[in-house]
Amino acid sequence: MRYLAKIQRKNWESSVAALRFVKMRKKYSDFIQKCALPVIAIGFILGLSSYSPEEGMFPLNYLNGNDLKNAGLKLSSEEIFNPGKISLTDALVKVGGCTGSFISEDGLIITNHHCVYGGVSSLSTAENNYLENGFVAKTKSEELSINMPCKITQSYEDVSTRVLSGISENTSPEDRIKIIGTNIKAIVEKEKAVYPELAIEVSEMFVGRSYTLFRYIYLKDVRLVLAPPVTVGQFGGDSDNWEWPRHNGDFSLVRAYVDKNGKPAAYSKDNIPYKPKNTLKINPNGTKEGDFVFIMGYPGRTFRHESGAYLKFQQEIQLPTIQSWYKTYIDLMKSNSEGQVSKRLAFAGEIQSLENVEKNYRGKIQGLRRTDIVQKRNMQDDAILTAFPINSKEYKQANDVVPAIRDLWKTRTAIGRMYFYSNVFLNNQSSIGSLAGIISDYQMLAASALKNKNKTEYLRLVQEFKAKAMKEYSFIDKRLENQAYLVLINEIYREGNKLKINVKSADKVFGNSQGLLNKYVDEVSKSILLDTAKIGKLLREKPEKLLTSSDILVKIAKDISHFQDYSAELWINSNTKLNSLMPQYTGLREQFLKSQFIPDANSTLRLTYGYIRSYSPNDGETATPYTTLDGIFQKAQETGDYRLPKMVGDKLRKDNVPSIFKDPKTGKVIVGLLYNLDTTGGNSGSPVLNASGELIGINFDRSYTATINDYAWNEKYSRSIGCDIRYAIYVIKYVSEADHILKELNLDI
């Protein structure tokens, strides 16, 4: 059975965008948990020395107020975050896997178009193609429910002492994990009793060392208000993704609702708009190069305190494996939906999501290759081994910890590809594989119940199987699935042969002959699991028949379960050991570098600041910090990523445009802006704010050279990209023709 992998589902890093993982219905989280030092105190300003700007995703309690003022901020710390009183954070909201901000008193939220892309594609049909044509609700009654729940940070509290209660130096790694889990559960239950109306989460800031409790308002009823046409919101498509210059209007508007009593509630036509405590003021007057800007949001995961062995694993195994598979699956979806509008709409959200991550991973691979991050970290690890006096506690600790971590990553390197592909087949990418795995699991459970003559348990298992299988088998495209699982199976068995994992049918299926593989492919193509109508009928009427099926794919799923269990057991064991070693390792690095680390991003509220700034990403290139409407028309084509329909182009071409939309120097309509802030996945939709805390842009991307931000940030190559608020207003007015929205925003243009 696949119980081991089910226990250890937090794996293979998401970005995101937050690594969005392979299927939106199932997501992997972090490939590796992070470790480091505890938060010293809670409060907006710490009495610590200034941090280097290279450490830029600040939890609010790590910020230094003087640094911010010296950098150019005109607000006080209390105006940014002030528990119990109104502050800027009350206008911030986590929207799905992105960030958004309230911009009206009626709960209107601005975020990215790519954040609502999947929802808009789900709402679209061939007759009402909101993705292609855009969507505007003329009245609140026309707003469409979209699955994007919102969380608003109310307060936070350091609970490290409570989480680590009962742990000593002699506590085993296994017991340590159990104690921490038990303590967190108790803390959350106690908080929920005190604050039943809030969502409670304990976030691990540094594994085994530091934990923060967050209290959130959780809004379930969110509705689409405005989405520009995809040829505006995603202009440039994958060609321009993670690139600069950019010319897309990557913004959309949604609205949060509550019940008549002002309480969070599921969708109801009787619900009313949520009244936020604070809203952002839109400043359409623009910026200039060198202006101070800052972002608040919910960045996903960064991995800046890891070992050289971890970074080498990223470079050699994780990144290329995931990137390669994503590229394969994207190509399969595109080829299988070419010329078919309904099918392309069904695939659209997933294609867009995977393209985003696939190119991100390509950028990370390039970044690790063209920089010396991996080499430097390994050299640092070597230096730590001899950095302390030979008879000191630190010396012994270093020579125990660093080699042990390296050995654990050698183990993970050996099983990494197997672990990834087997999880994808049984749990994610292939609906067929997932169903085959579920059938395989329940066949064993049902057989055991029958053997023990426990009819009640057997009937319960049949119903449980039916419910789970029907949920898992909700969508299938026969040709796509057939192609996808064949690629996966081939990779899985190849890795299994490398690892010398013995399973009964593997040799019969593959052997060492390509001819056998071809014969096997023919056999699989006749699987009953490919017959959607027949499977659906069996699940509805006679699910027990599938629990005795000898279908070839069910047999394969049993094989792959053995592969998965083998790799998962090693993965889990190594994870337990790493969790006990990493706090020590990070402490040694901190002593060696004489620096206190800032917690890696973990989808909790952060602030980063910097400037509107140009840069030179490659030899001979200089990237200026603004793009204009002219660039859209220069790139525009009839087909492809730069497709610009005549109707949309005509709306963008306007004579006598008000000066508020234009760059004072050039007289051109501004579209995108570039800045040196430290962002990552999850910062999509974050408000770009000026020194006075006014909204001047919507963050949506990083430059290709900045995809490596998850591992390191550097002023020379790290740039983030936003949609200038002036262009968002321009699109609302001229493309979406939504003056009623501008009126709600108190913008008289």
Each residue of 40-75: pLDDT tens digit? 233 333 333 333 444 579 998 887 788 899 999 999
User: Would residue 583 count as lying in a domain?
Assistant: no
pLDDT level of residue 20 (50, 70, 90 thresholds) = very low
Check pLDDT > 50 for residue 512. no
pLDDT value at residue 520: 62
Residues of the chain with pLDDT > 70: what percent?
89
484 compared with 683, residue with greater pLDDT = 683
Q: Does an H or E element contain 628, and which?
A: strand 626-628
Q: Is residue 99 part of a domain?
A: yes
**Pick from 253, 257, 244, 428: nearest CA to 353:** 428
Answer yes or no: do 287 and 315 share one domain: no
Residue appearing with tokens 């579920």: 438
Least confident of 257-266, 509-518, 665-674: 509-518
Longest dimension (CA), the chain: 84
For residues 503 and 399, membership in a common domain is answered with yes
Whether residues 464 and 546 fall in one domain: yes
677/567 same-domain check: no
Three-state secondary structure call for residue 2: coil
Q: How many CB atoms lie within 10 A of CB 686?
A: 31
Residue 232 one-letter amino acid: V
The residue out of 578, 612, 629 marking a domain boundary is: 578
Residue 511 reports pLDDT greater than 70: no
Q: Which of 530, 548, 578 is the last residue of a domain?
A: 578
Residue 536 pLDDT level (bands cut at 50, 70, 90): confident
Q: Does 16 lie in the same domain as 106?
A: no
The boundaries of the domain holding residue 498 are 3-32+306-578
Displacement of CA 721 from its chain's centroid (Å)? 17
Question: What's the pLDDT score for residue 268?
Answer: 95
pLDDT of the residue at 24: 30
| 546-594 residue pLDDT tens | 999 888 888 888 878 888 888 999 999 999 999 889 989 999 999 999 8
| Lowest-pLDDT choice from 177-186, 203-212, 730-739 | 203-212
Indicate whether 311 pLDDT > 60: yes
Check whether 356 has a pLDDT greater than 70.
Answer: yes
pLDDT at residue 517 greater than cutoff 60: no
> Per the domain annotation, does 55 fall within a domain?
no
- Shared domain for 135 and 238, answered yes or no, is yes
Query: Token pair of 522, please?
Result: 């023919």
- CB of 645 within 8 A of CB of 577? no
The CATH number of residue 708's host domain is 2.40.10.120
527 and 643 housed in the same domain = no
Burial zone of 75 (CB within 10 Å; 0-12 exposed, 13-18 middle, 19+ buried): middle
For 532, the enclosing helix (H) or strand (E) is: helix 532-541
Q: Is the pLDDT of residue 91 over 80?
A: yes
Residues 564 and 535 in one domain: yes
Mean pLDDT score, 508-512: 45
Q: Are residues 103 and 130 in the same domain?
A: yes
**pLDDT single digits (tens) 99-155:** 999 999 999 999 999 999 999 999 999 899 999 999 999 999 999 999 999 999 998
SS (H, E, C) 668-736: CEEEEEEECCCCCCCCCCCEEEECCCCEEEEEEEECHHHHHHHCCCCCCCCCEEEEEHHHHHHHHHHHC
Question: Quick one: 344 and 471 in the same domain?
Answer: yes
Report the alpha-carbon distance of residue 347 to residue 643 in Å, rounded: 19
pLDDT at residue number 570? 93
745: Cβ contacts below 8 Å, ≥ 6 apart: 103, 104, 108, 282
Q: Which residue has the higher pLDDT, 730 or 505?
A: 730
pLDDT > 90? residue 601? yes
Is the pLDDT at 8 greater than 90, yes or no?
Answer: no
Mean pLDDT of the chain: 86
Would 591 be classed as within a structural domain? no
Looking at the fold, whether 364 and 501 belong to one and the same domain comes out as: yes
pLDDT tens by residue, 367-393: 898 888 999 999 999 999 999 999 999
Structural tokens at position 17: 């965008």
pLDDT band of 436, cuts 50, 70, 90: confident
Distance CA 118, CA 427 (A): 21
Q: How far apart are CA 450 and CA 460, in angstroms?
A: 12
Length of the chain: 749
With 70 as the cut, is the pLDDT of residue 275 above it? yes
Reduced to 3 states (helix: H, G, I; strand: E, B; else coil), residue 210 is strand
| pLDDT at residue 430, rounded to an integer | 67
Give yes or no for residue 431 having a pLDDT over 80.
no
Query: Looking at the structure, do residues 359 and 502 belong to the same domain, yes or no?
Result: yes
> What is the pLDDT, as a whole number, of residue 475?
60
Structure tokens at 494: 């190849």
Peptide bond before 149: cis, by omega within 30 degrees of 0?
Answer: no
**pLDDT average, residue stretch 404-420:** 95
612-641 pLDDT, tens digit each: 999 998 888 899 999 999 999 999 999 999
Number of domains in the chain: 2
The answer as to whether 527 is a domain residue is yes
Determine the pLDDT at residue 259: 96
Mean of pLDDT values over 445-465: 91
Residue 650 has pLDDT above 70, yes or no: yes
The values of phi and psi at residue 221, to 5°, are: -95, 100
pLDDT in the model for residue 55: 54
